[in-house]
């Protein structure tokens, strides 16, 4: 079965560093740069590095901010679900010609789908 392309209006793809920060922003919903730094693993990047990446996320349309003097509180403009849908649609289209069956076949050939999950997938598809 080939899935039709979806018109999902979300910004471009995130880099690994941007995605790491977006995960924090999605989880916390409203953050200051130091809030992000608190939860990042060691070795922690410099404050200025995180601040720069957050501003890039804002330029890309992923986050917005509310100013409190010189302090900015950042919040997501794109939901995690919307980004995930767009990202997975891109993967499906670029690597599997939009075919869910090719995607599932790929993972089953790689033996990366545990047997218990195969039944869960089949039950979801039956619904």
Residue located via tokens 């599932």: 104
Size of the chain in residues: 127
Which parts of the chain have pLDDT scores under 70? Answer: 1-11, 112
23-34 per-position pLDDT tens digit: 999 999 999 999
This prediction has a pTM of: 0.76
Domain 16-76 sits in CATH at 1.10.10.10
6-20 per-position pLDDT tens digit: 334 555 789 999 999
Range list for CATH 1.10.10.10 in the chain: 16-76
Q: What is the DSSP string of 66-111?
A: EEETTEEEEEESS-HHHHHHHHHHHHHHHHHTTBHHHHHHHHHHTT
Per-residue model confidence (pLDDT) at position 75: 98
Reduced DSSP (H G I as helix, E B as strand, rest coil) percent helix, strand, coil of the chain, to 5? 55, 10, 30
């Amino acid at each position: 079965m080939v899935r039709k392309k979806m018109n999902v209006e979300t910004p471009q793809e995130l880099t690994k560093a941007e995605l790491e920060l977006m995960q924090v922003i999605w989880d916390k919903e409203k953050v200051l740069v130091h809030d992000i730094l608190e939860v990042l693993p060691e070795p922690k990047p410099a404050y200025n590095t995180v601040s720069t990446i957050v501003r890039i996320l804002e330029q890309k349309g992923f986050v917005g901010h509310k100013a409190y003097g010189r302090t900015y509180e950042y919040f997501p403009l794109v939901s995690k679900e919307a980004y995930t849908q767009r990202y997975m649609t891109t993967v499906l289209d670029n690597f599997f010609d939009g075919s869910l069956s090719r995607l599932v076949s790929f993972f089953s050939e790689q033996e990366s789908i545990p047997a218990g999950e195969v039944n869960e997938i089949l039950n979801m598809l039956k619904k």
